[in-house]
Amino acid sequence: MPRTTIADVARVSGFSQATVSRVLMGQAKHIREDTRQRILDTVEALGYHPSNAARSLKSKRSCTLGVVGYGLEYYGPSCTLSGIEQEASRTGYTILLHLIRQPETNDVAQLLQEMSSRYVDGIIWAVPEIANNRAWLKEKSFKPSVPVVFLTMETQPDQVIVAVDNYGGALLVTRHLITQGCQNIGLITGPMDWWEARERKRGWRDALESVGMSASESWVVEGNWSTSSGEEGLAILLSQHPELDGLFACNDRMALGALKTARERSLRVPEDLAVVGFDDMPDTTYYCPSLSTVRQDMIELGRLAVRELGRAIEEHQSDQPLAPKTVLLQPELLVRESSRLKRP
């Protein structure tokens, strides 16, 4: 059974395809009201809905956003995607999803091609910036035909970027630990080839140095975001600095690992060692003790990205050049048992 087409609507309603199309396109300048009604009624009666393929073929628009994602098994990226979809569907876009398994895809060209062959109106690049997996950005061959918004990447002079202020978050954490009276504050970072990890480390260092405290490398252990690396990280720090009394673990999972090490060594948290994480994963209030952390609104991050992309698409369609921009989302410190030493 063939689908109902605009031609059917035209025939049944007694008007031409052109008129039907004009009614459906909304911006109907010269359509008499009763004509409009008759056509809408016919559309309703026939249960007609237009073919997107035909529509984008002619109009070169598809009301589709391409999303390139990574690490969906983790909490942050899932929330971001959820936010992206939310805002996209609110504004009439549908999501074409492509996940990559390794952050350093070299098939960027092919990916962009695939997306452009489907006439996506814009692309959101939601892959963390790791090592030089953005090398292709500098290549002259990188000229996507549609606007691209990057998530979570270092400011670039000619790109649209939306990210959480990791540096600011780390400042909050470290200053908080200082305020609580910690004298010797260690750091378990993420992998240093991650931009986010470097930002958080920078925040830790700057906060310490700005009050004249030491931020030397012997107080730093590089983890890999995993719980076990947090567990081992704290062990290493303690062996180097038994006097450690404050710890900033750069994500909640590593903080959870550190809590385990502390428990095994009978270190009281927060009395002997105050611990703060980063991310505000679900249920961190139920850890023992409940975990202080930094909340980043990843859903809002996704929404923001779509909003920026929408703006860029409109500009693109009116042939304006892409206006580069970096939007930083401010995170929020959540103080819980694991770092509360003073009464407020």
Partner DNA sequence: TCGGTTTCTGAAATCGGTTTCAGTATAGCA
Partner DNA sequence: TGCTATACTGAAACCGATTTCAGAAACCGA
Q: Torsions phi, psi of 323, nearest 5?
A: -90, 110
35/166 with CB nearer DNA: 35
Does residue 116 touch DNA according to CB under 7 A?
Answer: no
Does residue 105 touch its own copies according to CB under 8 A?
Answer: no
86/91 with CB nearer its own copies: 86
Q: Torsions phi, psi of 199, nearest 5?
A: -60, -45
Please count the residues of this chain forming the interface with its own copies, following the rule CB under 8 A.
52
The residues in 251-270 that bind its own copies, with binding defined as CB under 8 A, are 253, 256-257, 259-260, 263
Q: Among the candidate windows 18-26, 195-203, 210-218, 280-288, which touches DNA by CB under 7 A? A: 18-26
Work out which of 7, 25, 45, 97 binds its own copies, going by CB under 8 A: 97
Q: Read out DSSP for 299-334?
A: HHHHHHHHHHHHHHHHHHHTTPPP--EEEEE--EEE
Give the Cα separation of 124 and 66 in Å (integer): 6
Report whether 28 contacts 22 (CB < 8 A): yes
Measured torsion, CA atoms of residues 243, 245, 248, 252, in degrees rounded to the nearest 10? 110
Residue 79 interacts, among DNA, its own copies, none and using kind-specific CB cut-offs from 5 to 8 Å, with its own copies
The percent of the chain in helix, strand and coil, each rounded to the nearest 5, is 45, 15, 40
- Numbers of helices and strands, H then E, in the chain: 12, 12
Rg (CA), the chain: 26
Give the Cα separation of 313 and 296 in Å (integer): 27
Q: Among the candidate windows 83-91, 153-161, 166-174, 312-320, which touches its own copies by CB under 8 A? A: 83-91
Encoded one letter per residue, x for contact with DNA by CB under 7 A and - for no contact, window 28-67 reads: -xxxx--x------------xxxx-xxx-xxx--------
Work out which of 7, 97, 192, 323 binds DNA, going by CB under 7 A: 7
DSSP 146: S
146/294 with CB nearer DNA: 146
- Residues at the interface with its own copies (CB under 8 A): 3, 49-54, 56-57, 62, 64, 67, 72-75, 78-79, 81-82, 85-86, 89, 94-99, 101, 113-114, 116-119, 145, 227, 231, 253, 256-257, 259-260, 263, 282-283, 285-288, 299
- Residues at the interface with DNA (CB under 7 A): 2-7, 14-19, 21-22, 24-25, 29-32, 35, 48-51, 53-55, 57-59
